Homo-oligomer: A and B are copies of this chain.
Amino acid sequence: MNLTFYPGPSKLHAQVEQHLQEAFQSGLLSANHRSTAFMAMLEETLLALRIKLSIPDGYEVYLTSSATECWEIISQSLVQQASHHVYNGAFGKKWFEYAQRLHPATTGQLFGFNDFPPDPAHVPAAEVLCVTHTETSNGTALPLPFLAELRKNQPGLIAVDATSSMGGEALPWLLADVWFASVQKCFGLPSGLGILIVSPLAIERAQALNEQNHYNSLLFIRSNFQQFQTPFTPNTLGIFLLKRCMQERSPIEKISTSLHQRAEIWYNFLRENGYKLLVGLPEVQAVTVVVAQDSEENIRMIKAKAQAAEITLGNGYGAWKKTTFRLANFPAITTDDSDRLMQVLQRSDKITG
């Protein structure tokens, strides 16, 4: 099996193999999702998430089928007229477009991916202000001061797509009301689950709107999760794997520190070895997704060299498909994995200094 640096679906935690076997043998995969056995498992899963991710009291944790479903849930259950989207890449744009189809008055504000996000004072007040914490397509992330200022300036809810950072980076939970992600990125798990985290203010807002029309209406999800149940028969195997993974994990602060350190090592390594970074501005370089840029021919050669060493690099996204490669800097990737890739990417024309 190739070692993959694809930024999601990505390398699985090695323990997943063992956990799959455990899941099969547990009998839980045949348990009814209203049974006490299932409910106990879901409770343990949510508790492990809460503890290991340092989720603040009052914030609630639910599971969905995907992060994409979370986009829909936010528009449907937390927005009355329009959300406002500040974005710099393909996934932020997609979220904006999806939201616009549900609420045509939805607005968007594009900023350059090699630039700082807009001054929060120039971001219009919104019912729900939507941002992407780490934009997987271009390897940028929102600087913490931006999120802090945004919080001060916005009167309504703030929703953050943290698909490529939750579970890897310590997130400033109190600076937003809705955080969501999926498990196939920093959680190192097979895809098929989304994680949705909401603040007391978001719950209040959902109650005020009282949207109850859908099988995945936020309040309906909530009333189910309050009993450690789900609105419909869920991906029980995925939940089991999430539980076991979170139980065995270090606290997020520790994981986050080592990912930050490794990101720095990667950015330095790439620069020192003459790779051009897609994102030059250090303040917006993502910790969990690193993107290097080169000519089509060079990118093809680099990927071929990696493949020869049984390593898969992430393709570039969209317009950069052939002129960049992407590296996941996720917790499931070990230091040995990184070292192995660095040996492949090392260039004799290394620029010292």
Residues of A in contact with B (beta carbons under 8 Å apart): 1-2, 4, 6, 8-12, 16-17, 20-21, 23-27, 29-33, 65-69, 71-72, 98, 101-102, 182, 184, 190-192, 212-216, 231-238, 315
Complex contact B24–A9 (CB within 8 A) = no
Complex contact A12–B33 (CB within 8 A) = no
Contacts A190-B237, A215-B68 known; A24 to B6 CB distance under 8 Å? no
20 A-B pairs with CB atoms under 8 Å apart are A1-B25, A4-B27, A4-B31, A6-B31, A8-B32, A9-B33, A12-B30, A16-B29, A17-B21, A17-B24, A17-B25, A32-B315, A68-B215, A68-B233, A72-B214, A72-B216, A102-B213, A192-B233, A192-B237, A192-B238
Write out the residue numbers on chain B whose beta carbons fall within 8 Å of the beta carbon of A213. 101-102
Complex contact A233–B17 (CB within 8 A) = no
CB-CB nearest in chain B for A104: B213
Complex contact A33–B191 (CB within 8 A) = yes
Write out the residue numbers on chain B whose beta carbons fall within 8 Å of the beta carbon of A20. 20-21, 23-24
Complex contact B232–A69 (CB within 8 A) = yes
CB-CB nearest in chain B for A236: B191
Complex contact B215–A71 (CB within 8 A) = yes
Report the minimal beta-carbon distance from A118 to chain B, rounded to whole angstroms: 27
A26 to B190, CA, bound (A): 12
Complex contact A24–B32 (CB within 8 A) = no
Report the minimal beta-carbon distance from A26 to chain B, rounded to whole angstroms: 8
Task: Indicate which residue in B1, B6, B216, B233 contacts A184 across the interface (CB closer than 8 Å).
Answer: B233
Complex contact A101–B9 (CB within 8 A) = no
Contacts A4-B27, A20-B24, A190-B29 known; A66 to B214 CB distance under 8 Å? no
Write out the residue numbers on chain B whose beta carbons fall within 8 Å of the beta carbon of A31. 4, 6, 9
Write out the residue numbers on chain B whose beta carbons fall within 8 Å of the beta carbon of A214. 72, 101-102
A68 to B29, CA, bound (A): 19
Task: Indicate which residue in B21, B33, B212 contacts A21 across the interface (CB closer than 8 Å).
Answer: B21
Complex contact B9–A27 (CB within 8 A) = no
Q: Which of A17, A72, A232, A315 has the most CB of B within 10 A?
A: A232
A213 to B21, CA, bound (A): 40
Write out the residue numbers on chain B whose beta carbons fall within 8 Å of the beta carbon of A232. 66-69
A216 to B70, CA, bound (A): 12
Report the minimal beta-carbon distance from A211 to chain B, rounded to whole angstroms: 10
Contacts A101-B214, A233-B184 known; A30 to B17 CB distance under 8 Å? no
The 8 tightest CB contacts between A and B, nearest first, are: A192-B235, A68-B232, A65-B65, A190-B237, A29-B190, A20-B20, A1-B27, A191-B233
Complex contact B32–A12 (CB within 8 A) = no
Complex contact B237–A237 (CB within 8 A) = yes
Complex contact A234–B191 (CB within 8 A) = yes
Complex contact B233–A182 (CB within 8 A) = yes
